[in-house]
Amino acid sequence: MAATVSFLILLLTLSRGFAAEPGMTIKTTTKGIDYANQIAGNALRSKLQTITLPDQSGSEGSKSWSITNIRINGITGPDTHISLNPGAGGVTLGISNFGASLHADWRARYRIIFKVSSSGSVDLSVSGASITLVAALGEKNGRPSIVASSCTCNIPDIGIKFHGGLAAVILNIFRGVIRNKVRGLLQDEVCKAVVEQVNTRADAKLAEMKVTVEIAKKFVLDYGLIRAPAITSNYIELANRGLVYWKNNRQESTFTSAPCPPVTEFSNMLYLCLNEFPANTFAYVAHVNNFLQYNITVDKIPVSSQLLDPTGQLQTEFPSSKLEIRISSAAAPSVKFENQKVTVAAAANVDVVVHSQSSVVTPLQLRVSVSVTVQPSIVDGKLAGIITAYTFNISVRKSDLANINEAELNALIRQAIDEVVLPQINEIGRQGIELPSSGVLRFRNTRLNVQLGVLKVATDAEFMG
Ligand SMILES: *[C@@H]1O[C@H](CO)[C@@H](O)[C@H](O)[C@H]1NC(C)=O
């Protein structure tokens, strides 16, 4: 029994694991990381300026000493280098050529015959220090997280220069002790500062990552990470859900998504890959929430009902009545990516409605199947799209009209699509959809490529200051 239960639990966990394929992946290559390193290096330099060291004291027999008010006067370097560390599931931050000059007060007591106490100031200098920090990347609330897993700091030597009174004699006795003590202390404090920078500042920054964006005020696109970032020797990969849901009514989707093909060249900083899943969830929630509905009255579409209805039946039966065309999606549109093209197959119900003084009747009901070609592009770091062509087919579902002029019916539907439906959909496409990098990174050298099942973006980027 217990074995069966464990087996079931295992199966459930496995199937959940498989269901959670990402709708989008973002790979940051070593080139992207080198760029991030420049930014991180500057932040680290200013953080190291502000290290504070606690007071130090020690004693040996009748001799005792203390160093207080330790202040950093200035630092030199350091050089920083971030590299990928697949083994640690994260990155290695290497800091080298770190130098610092410090100033402090000292006090010492000793007894030869009398008890003597003396005090003064001391200058300390550090050069050629190096730090190696390893940090692991994880996932927290759908965002990346980072935590330092180890830190070593090596300070080769410390220069000490005491100032004041009888110090020379006395302090020479302690010089070695103080040097080792301060060196050890500094090594610990530098690591503490760097670890803190990573565990709080860097982690907090990552926790701010925007993982939901609004589309057309009615939809929300969820970019939350579905697992911890994957690290290879060539890139860090974020796997984002990429699910679109109706604002205030989040539903899981039953669509499946094809995995992105592996990236084989790494000359750009970022590689984004979107499969059809986000677009199809978008189309699905748009349909089920009646977003794809357009009611067009004759005021907007100047058609002559006589042209549509050659026998003049409408005019006779409903004199001086108004015509309305109601278009609504009949099923969720289906989005396909292939060979530099995005196509959408949609089916709509079109009702031709007549409003007379006394009644509202629907003498004609049609089904219109539309095939739409969309040209995707990256504009201002957003994914945009514009409809470049479409074709449609009309079938009559119900007609009370004795005779329909098919050419006029086609013209009527084309006019409705061109003048009402397309401008509204293109406006959403023109505004574009924010990517997780929007507002943070400015894209340069961007290439967009549509292949079977996936849309890929290769780009360089720079931080928006
Ligand atoms: C279109 O008209 C129908 C019937 O009156 C109505 O149910 C629907 O909400 C309307 N849709 C829009 C977008 O106005």
Section 187-201 average pLDDT: 89
Instruction: Find which of 64-78, 200-214, 240-254, 369-383 is predicted with most confidence, using mean pLDDT.
Output: 369-383
The confidence score (pLDDT) of residue 3 equals 52
Which mutation among 287, 326, 354 tests ligand 1's pocket best, with the greatest number of atoms within 8 A of CB?
Answer: 326
Which is higher by pLDDT, 175 or 184? 184
CA–centroid distance, 414 to ligand 1, in Å, is 20
The confidence score (pLDDT) of residue 167 equals 55
- Is any ligand 1 atom within 6 A of the Cβ of residue 322? no
The confidence score (pLDDT) of residue 19 equals 47
CA–centroid distance, 400 to ligand 1, in Å, is 22
- Banded model confidence at residue 299, pLDDT cuts 50, 70, 90: low
CA–centroid distance, 461 to ligand 1, in Å, is 45
Residue 91 has pLDDT above 80, yes or no: yes
CA–centroid distance, 404 to ligand 1, in Å, is 25
The confidence score (pLDDT) of residue 42 equals 81
The whole-angstrom separation of Cα 249 and Cα 305 is 41
**Contact, 247 vs 289, CB < 8 A?**
no
Predicted TM-score (pTM) of the model is: 0.84
pLDDT digits (tens, 9 = 90+) for 131-144: 999 999 999 999 99
The whole-angstrom separation of Cα 179 and Cα 320 is 102
Which mutation among 295, 322, 355 tests ligand 1's pocket best, with the greatest number of atoms within 8 A of CB?
Answer: 295
Six-digit token pair at 265?
A: 């060249």
Matching residue, tokens 């009370």: 400
- Residues of the chain with pLDDT > 70: what percent? 90
Residue 73 has pLDDT above 80, yes or no: yes
Amino acid 390 reads Y
Element containing residue 79 per DSSP (H, E): strand 79-85
The confidence score (pLDDT) of residue 9 equals 47
Q: Whose CA is nearest to atom 9 of ligand 1?
A: 293
**CB-count burial class (<10 Å; 0-12, 13-18, 19+) for 39:** exposed
Contacts of 263 (CB under 8 A, 6+ apart): 27, 234, 235, 271, 273
CA–centroid distance, 295 to ligand 1, in Å, is 6
The confidence score (pLDDT) of residue 111 equals 77
Short-list 232, 221, 193, 185, CA closest to 54: 185
pLDDT digits (tens, 9 = 90+) for 311-365: 677 777 777 778 889 999 999 999 999 999 999 999 999 999 988 778 898 989 9
Q: Whose CA is nearest to atom 6 of ligand 1?
A: 295
Section 41-70 average pLDDT: 82
Residue 47 has pLDDT above 80, yes or no: no
Strand-pair partners of 343: 336, 373
The confidence score (pLDDT) of residue 403 equals 82
- Is any ligand 1 atom within 6 A of the Cβ of residue 31? no
Average pLDDT over the chain reads 86
CA–centroid distance, 324 to ligand 1, in Å, is 11
